[in-house]
Amino acid sequence: MSILKDKNILLGITAGIAAYKSASLVRLFIKAGANVKVVMTPASKEFVTPLTLSTLSKNPVYSSFVNEEDDNEIWNNHVDLGLWADLFVIAPATANTMAKMANGVCDNILLAVYLSAKCPIYFAPAMDLDMYMHNSTKTSFEKLTSYGNKLIPAGTGELASGLVGEGRMAEPEEIVAFIVNDILEQLPLRGKRVLITAGPTYEAIDPVRFIGNHSSGKMGFEIAKAAAKLGAEVILVTGPTHQKVSNNFIIVKPVVSAEDMYNEVHKHFNTSDIAILSAAVADYRPKNVATQKIKKKDTTLTIELEKTKDILKSLGDIKRDQFLVGFALETNNELEHAKGKLKSKNLDLIVLNSLQDKGAGFGVSTNKVTFITSSNDIIENELKSKADVAQDLMHLILKQTHA
């Protein structure tokens, strides 16, 4: 999954020959999972048609304040467009448009949106060599970047005039890569590794049967997604589950038993910065596992159980500077038991949920949790989707670690 997934991207197109590349740029943004709208200067329609861009983006294209072909003359609100956008990318950005942007000139809808936008703005210059090297163009670059706009450098190559040199608009793939890298560099967990456990464990009785629980793994998978959105490299160790994730920043390590999970977690803990253990690990397992299917003979069957290794405590015993988070699912004396686990297992934070709360626990898409920190701060939360709980958890971790 791309970091651009579900982003609202407004693509601004100005009147340069490089506008023919804008169609490919729209396709790449759509392929990355973004929502795309296009705003054009009136003159840019001579280089690429609004119909092409509308078809590719699956949205109307805006090139004037009023839809002149509409009998009702519907107003295109530039403020709404600016507020809709998570990113505003102007490609190509001609010398003319950049000069207007730099000096606050507002004589078309693209410039009005530019002056209204609150989101990050990227611009990809495109012009002939002499224009690109002119002092006035350099002044535009300096002004625009001083305002916080981000310059996507032009490339060197053959230009429309026949000259060879600087001024060629970056290729669509280069523009997308520049934006993705810029976003990633600003994410708070960029360069950090987060270890997460999810789902149940299955403890074999024989080759057919096992002891397990009702955990779906959804909470852990949502935490993994939330951590990845913040730029982290995520190692997701998961027991058997139907949950799926497709994200370049999440490496899934499937396991089955508590012993498998213990071993896999210990492989990655030393190189992790944050560990969040949300899996519902079996506390006990059959002491002796039958090699053949146990036949139904008697009216009762006795299975001797032994304790599994306490993964969370084992990490608390060896942690150095890792931030360690555990989960506590309780049915009585919830707060007291959670505080006890927080201390005895040397945790930095514990997430308490109770089976007494309707809509919380296994097999549902919601959760109601209480966060308890190592400094005894207690943060109660209302019933929320597990995706929202995951975001709340990651934001609290960021606050606690000052990441």
Confidence of residue 403 (pLDDT cuts 50, 70, 90): low
pLDDT of residue 305: 96
Q: Which residues are within 8 A (CB) of 154 and not within 5 positions of it... i.e. 6 or more apart?
A: 124, 125, 126, 132, 166, 167, 168, 169, 170
Residue 334 and residue 197 share a domain: yes
Question: Of 143, 164, 186, which closes a domain?
Answer: 186
pLDDT of residue 79: 82
Is the pLDDT higher at 297 or at 272? 272
Within-domain flag for 179: yes
pLDDT in tens, 311-330: 999 999 999 999 999 999 87
Across residues 211-223, what is the average pLDDT? 95
What CA–CA distance (Å, rounded) separates 356 from 354? 5
C-alpha distances (whole Å) from 42 to each of 16, 47, 111, 295, 326 are 12, 10, 11, 80, 57
Residue 116 and residue 262 share a domain: no
Encoded amino acid at 284, one letter: Y
Across residues 375-388, what is the average pLDDT? 94
Its domain, for residue 54, covers: 8-186
What CA–CA distance (Å, rounded) separates 327 from 199? 12
Query: Mean pLDDT score of the chain, rounded to an integer?
Result: 92
The distance from CA 268 to its chain's CA centroid, rounded to whole angstroms, is 22
Residue 314 is part of a domain; what is its CATH number?
3.40.50.10300
What CA–CA distance (Å, rounded) separates 268 from 264? 7
The residue behind tokens 């400094």 is: 375
- DSSP assignment letter at 205: S
Within-domain flag for 234: yes
Across residues 113-130, what is the average pLDDT? 93
**Count, residues in the chain:** 403
Confidence of residue 129 (pLDDT cuts 50, 70, 90): confident
Within-domain flag for 40: yes
Across residues 77-84, what is the average pLDDT? 86
Which residues share a beta bridge with 306? 285
Residue 203 and residue 162 share a domain: no
Across residues 2-22, what is the average pLDDT? 94
Report DSSP letters for 103-171, one per residue. HT---SHHHHHHHH--S-EEEEE---HHHHHSHHHHHHHHHHHHTT-EE---EEEE-TTS-EEEEEPPP
Residue 363 and residue 256 share a domain: yes
pLDDT of residue 244: 94
pTM above 0.85, yes or no: no
Residue 207 and residue 150 share a domain: no
Residue 219 and residue 152 share a domain: no
Is the pLDDT higher at 282 or at 131? 282
Instruction: Give the start-end residues of each E strand in 342-401.
Output: 349-354, 366-367, 369-373, 378-380, 384-385
User: 3-state class of 213 per DSSP?
Assistant: coil
Please list the active-site residues. 213
pLDDT of residue 241: 96
Number of domains forming the structure of the chain: 2
Encoded amino acid at 260, one letter: D
Q: Are 274 and 401 in contact (CB under 8 A)?
A: yes
Which sign does the torsion angle of CA 100, 104, 107, 112 carry?
Answer: positive
Q: How many CA atoms lie within 13 A of 194 on its CB side?
A: 32
Does residue 153 register a pLDDT over 80? yes
- What percent of the chain has pLDDT above 70? 95
pLDDT of residue 21: 94
Residue 76 and residue 33 share a domain: yes
Which residues share a beta bridge with 251? 235
Question: For 25-43, what is the HEC assignment?
Answer: HHHHHHHCCCEEEEEECHH
Tokens of 97: 């448009």
Q: Are 239 and 261 in contact (CB under 8 A)?
A: yes
pLDDT of residue 347: 97
Within-domain flag for 61: yes
Report DSSP letters for 63-80, one per residue. -SSB-TTSTT--B--HHH
Question: Of 130, 160, 186, which closes a domain?
Answer: 186
Q: Which residues are within 8 A (CB) of 399 and not within 5 positions of it... i.e. 6 or more apart?
A: none
Does residue 172 register a pLDDT over 80? yes
Residue 149 and residue 211 share a domain: no
Pairing of strands 274-277, 250-254: unpaired
Confidence of residue 175 (pLDDT cuts 50, 70, 90): very high
Helices (H), 147-202: 172-186
Q: Are 128 and 161 in contact (CB under 8 A)?
A: yes
